[in-house]
């Protein structure tokens, strides 16, 4: 861990290996991301103080082929995108998680109770509580932390902002309290568990797996408890292909019942 000032210095205006791996080599994009992270670190310092902290990133995802095939134990070709949720987080020595997401109200989760709360359904707090509950059940350490998040995965865009958020929270708990020991696929499964049982959406596992693994991958869901994931070596830039995201103005907000009918229909 490093102080916020030290982290800002290490960002070095975007000229660093980590940023190039996440966002490519375009100088304008690297500068944009450097400004974004610097602003996030400054916000964290204002809200929670200049303490030892960590930086995190979790990408959005898209299906290249195989939409909803995770529901009928099929296979999918999926890829992470470079629109991501970026975060700063630090342990706070309490049993409370405090999260500020830019553009959203601040919320807290008291870890003294890890039971699902119907009043929390369809909220970010429900996802956080469910992830911590499942991680504790599996023998991982949990604890209170403070976090500032800049959500770069547009909500309702079809890029799985909720799965990206779940994977981000899992990564925070893993790094802050468990030396980063949480396996990416298990992180994905824990995120799905939370979304199914705490948030209230009967989602499959494809979204979380693609966000947790990163890159372009195939996933075989023949055994949904043990998805088989393989990296795909393909360079979209070299071949001239581009992924185009179109904002249709739609929303998933009132579609949970229809979504739940997919496994039966398939």
DSSP secondary structure, the chain, as one string: -B-HHHHHHHHGGG-SHHHHHHH-S-HHHHHHHHHHHHHHHHHHHHHH-S--BEEEEEEEEEEEE-TTGGGGT-EEEEEEEEEEEEEEEEE-SSSEEEEEETTS--EEEETT--S--GGGTTSHHHHHHHHHHHHHHTT-----EEEEEEE-S-TTSSS-HHHHHHHHHHHHHHHHHHTT---HHHHHHHHHHHIIIII-----SHHHHHHHH-SEEEEE-SSTTS-EEEE----HHHHT------------TT-HHHHHTHHHH-
Question: Which residues are marked as active site?
Answer: 207
């Amino acid at each position: 861990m490093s102080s916020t000032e030290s982290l800002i210095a290490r960002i070095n205006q975007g000229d660093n290996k980590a940023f190039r791996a996440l966002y490519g080599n375009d100088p304008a994009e690297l500068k944009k991301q450097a400004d974004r992270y610097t602003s996030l670190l400054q916000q964290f310092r204002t809200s929670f103080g200049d303490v030892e902290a960590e930086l995190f990133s979790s990408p959005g995802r898209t299906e290249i082929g195989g939409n909803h095939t995770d529901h009928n134990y099929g296979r999918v070709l999926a890829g992470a995108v470079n629109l991501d949720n970026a975060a700063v987080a630090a342990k706070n020595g309490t049993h409370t998680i405090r999260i500020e997401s830019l553009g959203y109200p601040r919320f807290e989760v008291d870890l003294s109770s890890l039971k699902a709360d119907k009043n929390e359904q369809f909220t970010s707090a429900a996802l956080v509580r469910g992830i911590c509950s499942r991680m504790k059940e599996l023998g991982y350490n949990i604890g209170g932390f403070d976090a500032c998040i800049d959500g770069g995965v547009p909500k309702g865009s079809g890029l799985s902002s909720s799965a990206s958020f779940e994977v981000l929270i899992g990564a925070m708990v893993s790094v802050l309290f468990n030396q980063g020991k949480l396996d990416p696929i298990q992180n994905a499964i824990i995120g799905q568990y939370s979304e199914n049982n705490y948030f209230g959406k009967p989602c499959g596992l494809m979204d979380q797996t693609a966000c947790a693994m990163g890159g372009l991958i195939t996933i075989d869901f023949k055994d949904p408890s043990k998805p088989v994931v393989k990296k795909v070596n393909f360079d979209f830039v070299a071949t001239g292909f581009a992924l185009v995201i179109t904002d249709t103005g739609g929303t998933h907000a009132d579609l949970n019942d229809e979504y739940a009918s997919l496994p039966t229909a398939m």
